[in-house]
A and B are shown apart, each in its own frame.
Chain A
Amino acid sequence: MSLDRARQLEMFRRMLRIRLFEEALIAHYPVGHLSIGQEGAIAGACMALRDDDYVTGTHRSHGHPIGKGAEIAPLMAEIFGKRTGICKGLGGSMHLTDTKLGLICESAIVGGGFPLATGAGLSAQVRGSDQVSLCFFGDGAVNQGTFSESVNMGAVWKLPVIYFCENNGYAVTTPVEKSHGQPEIARRADGYGIPGVVVDGQDAEAVHAVTLEAVERARAGEGPTLIEAKTYRFDEHSNRLAIPIEYRSKEEIEHHRKERDPITLYRAVLQARDLLSEVEAIEEEVRKTIDDAVEFAKASPEPEMSDLWDSMYVNPIGAPVGGEGL
């Protein structure tokens, strides 16, 4: 899992896919929560996982499947609400869950993923599998009871879970310092007797390195790690929610866009390693992948009412109740 050249380029590819996927959304199909600015943390973490490792995510869901290596077109079609979407157009922007790559939930209920990721770790332990489970969550989610309760269970049962915080500094308009008694999120790990690590989320390779260490610990049966990746969201909390107050300065945003863009930073690293022509080929390829995905999404059919009923139960017993005629 260490990063040879091919995997360095793959990590760059996934970061760029997240960026261009979302830029295409801004242009073609405006939706809520974007991960632009957070690509280094997401791809860095995912590159430390195997395809069969589990992932849970959040309302800011686009980056997680892309980071895990998912096919792009079904993700795009999902956002367009189409039947060819990864969730048949039923889940949408906050829920891009590609189970083929181990994603088991993108929860729009903040904090909803902690128990599920912990449960996936429990499952791996009980089945004697060496899979691990990685739980993505935001800084705001740490204040849900499910965080404490789940991390404690993960710790006491030594479950193979990585609790990975995308700390972008804010929950909607609330800065971390105004909502956390202990704003250093990694230090919360002390309360559960597990390691807590801080990493620069704009440095994809650094993120990869700390995550890999946590994954190895988990696979070895030594239990969970809490990782806090310090990152930044470049756009508004949600492009569908009007924010009437200025809770972060324009200078702060500009600083991050100019100086702390994880893609610009990693591109420079790869260039210094003489990989510019490979990088340029990837840029060309990703642009085409995204354009093709938009075309695919546009041309795809809408889901039908029967898809709703068909998606409810594995084993429906008798006629549907309460929906006759619809």
Chain B
Amino acid sequence: MTMRNATQKLSYLQAIVEAQREEMRRDERVILMGEDIAVYGAQTLFDEFDEKRLRNTPISENSFVGVGVGAALTGLRPIVDLTIASFCYLASDQIINQAAKLRFMTGAQLAVPLVVRTSTFYNNRTAAQHADRPYPLFMNTPGLKVLAPSNATDAKGLLKSAIRDDDPVVVFEDINLWGKKEEVPTDEDFLVPIGKAAVRREGGDVTIVSIAGCLPHALSAADALAKDGVEAEVIDLRTIVPLDKETILASVAKTGRLVVADNSHKVGSVASEIAAVVSEEGFESLKKPIQRVAAPQVHVPYNAALEKQLFVSKDRIIEAVRAIA
């Protein structure tokens, strides 16, 4: 038995591996499938589980995700690793047309307890076919739950919740966070609830909602702003669907100002949806226009210096806050 409050220092990626290990031990219906899974952190799982439950797949994204859906419909709880988020497009038919819709279309006869893991691979000099952050595509698909943890503890706790959830869940891991270490709870029943944002810093002057890897930038922007007497409240969204409107609206009610930091492309982004929700349901509290800090409508270039400029940074957040201060 692990102690209730015990922790272990783990990187974001190690935390994901531990979440899978614990859930595979706990429930033999959990299996893991993906391309070269050993390369993406799972090699230590091979010491413990056999190849029946750990499957290296051929390069057939649409079909191996669909195989996961079929197995989920019939008694397993598969985790499918789609490695790099740009490859979600290849599997989007099975995710969107099958996984997200089958329960609805069968009048709730079926459930799809499937987890699709994938990682946003930006700021890594891999150019436009590897670097997308396609959260909005899946946010716009009813029937899915969509997660985007920003630290090792949430990566573990949210993935475990996703595996235990009876609906299809897409988890976006952020490779810019993979190496970040922190103390992570070892309790096998430590879960982070799906659908709850976390207030990472309190403040009364402006609300900064941060998605996934934007968090370190949002926090350092908040520290810099505090030196100038501007107290920012920083909310780490953690779950994209279902959106925790309550936490966001409560904060904006207090601050009257909202900046949303989102590394997806600005048009139709998660930031756009949050801005729409706040203007529909929190308009009275707003003192100034909402600001979206997001990637522009160009593709990710290979050139590293230009690539970096597309994404959310401390300075871009500060600039957005100043614009409405």
Contact = CB atoms under 8 A, between A and B. Distances in A.
Interface string B257-289: 000000001110000000000000000000000
Given A90-B301, A95-B127, A108-B126, A143 B60 contact: yes
A322 interface: yes
A189 to B, nearest CB: 19
B130 interface: yes
A185 B304 CA distance: 38
Nearest to B62: A145
Contact of A108 (B127, B298, B310): B127
B302 A90 contact: yes
B302 A89 contact: yes
Contacts of B125: 81, 92
Interface stretch (A4-12, A169-177, A258-266, A281-289): A169-177
Interface stretch (A68-76, A194-202, A290-298, A302-310): A302-310
A172 B36 contact: yes
Interface string A234-246: 0000000111110
B207 to A, nearest CB: 21
A140 interface: yes
A302 B305 contact: yes
B220 interface: no
Contact of A312 (B267, B298, B306): B298
Given A94-B129, A140-B59, A178-B56, A245 B306 contact: no
A304 B309 CA distance: 11
Contact of A174 (B36, B63, B265, B304): B36
B239 interface: no
Interface size class for chain A?
35 or more
B38 interface: yes
A140 B60 CA distance: 9
Looking at chain B's contact residues, the main secondary structure is loop
A231 to B, nearest CB: 18
A100 interface: no
Contacts of B38: 173, 244-245
Interface in B277-319: 294, 296-299, 301-306, 309-310
A93 B302 contact: yes
A225 interface: no
Contacts of B35: 171-172, 174
A78 B310 CA distance: 20
A310 to B, nearest CB: 10
Interface residues of B, number: 38
A122 to B, nearest CB: 22
Nearest to A312: B298
B87 interface: yes
A112 B128 CA distance: 14
A78 B125 CA distance: 12
Given A241-B39, A244-B43, A245-B38, A179 B56 contact: yes
Contacts of A109: 86-87, 90, 129
B58 interface: yes
A180 interface: yes
A173 B62 contact: no
Contacts of A242: 39
A90 B127 contact: yes
Contacts of A141: 59
A323 B296 contact: yes
Contact of B298 (A140, A145, A179, A323): A323
Contacts of A112: 129
A107 interface: yes
A110 interface: yes
Nearest to B294: A322
Majority secondary structure, A binding face: loop
Contacts of A111: 59
Interface in B26-55: 35-36, 38-39, 43
Contacts of A308: 298-299, 301, 306
A302 B303 contact: yes
B303 A144 contact: no
Interface string B79-101: 00000001100100000000000
Contacts of A95: 127, 129, 302
A140 B43 contact: no
Given A143-B59, A145-B60, A174-B56, A309 B36 contact: no
Given A108-B129, A172-B39, A92 B302 contact: yes
B297 A321 contact: yes
A89 B301 CA distance: 7
A326 interface: yes
Nearest to A308: B298
Given A143-B58, A174-B36, A305 B303 contact: no
B60 A321 contact: no
A320 interface: yes
A221 interface: no
Contacts of B298: 308-309, 311-312, 320, 323
A145 B90 CA distance: 10
Interface of A: 78, 81-82, 87, 89-95, 107-112, 140-141, 143-145, 171-174, 178-180, 241-245, 302-305, 308-309, 311-312, 320-323, 326
Interface of B: 35-36, 38-39, 43, 56-63, 86-87, 90, 125-130, 265-267, 294, 296-299, 301-306, 309-310
Given A81-B303, A179-B56, A308-B299, 11 more contacts: A92-B126, A107-B129, A108-B127, A111-B59, A140-B59, A173-B39, A179-B57, A245-B39, A302-B306, A320-B296, A322-B297
**In the A-B complex, the 6 residue pairs with the closest CB atoms:** A92-B302, A323-B296, A143-B58, A322-B266, A81-B303, A322-B297
18 contacts: A81-B302, A82-B303, A93-B302, A95-B127, A95-B302, A140-B59, A145-B63, A172-B35, A172-B39, A174-B36, A179-B58, A241-B39, A302-B303, A305-B306, A305-B309, A308-B301, A322-B266, A326-B310
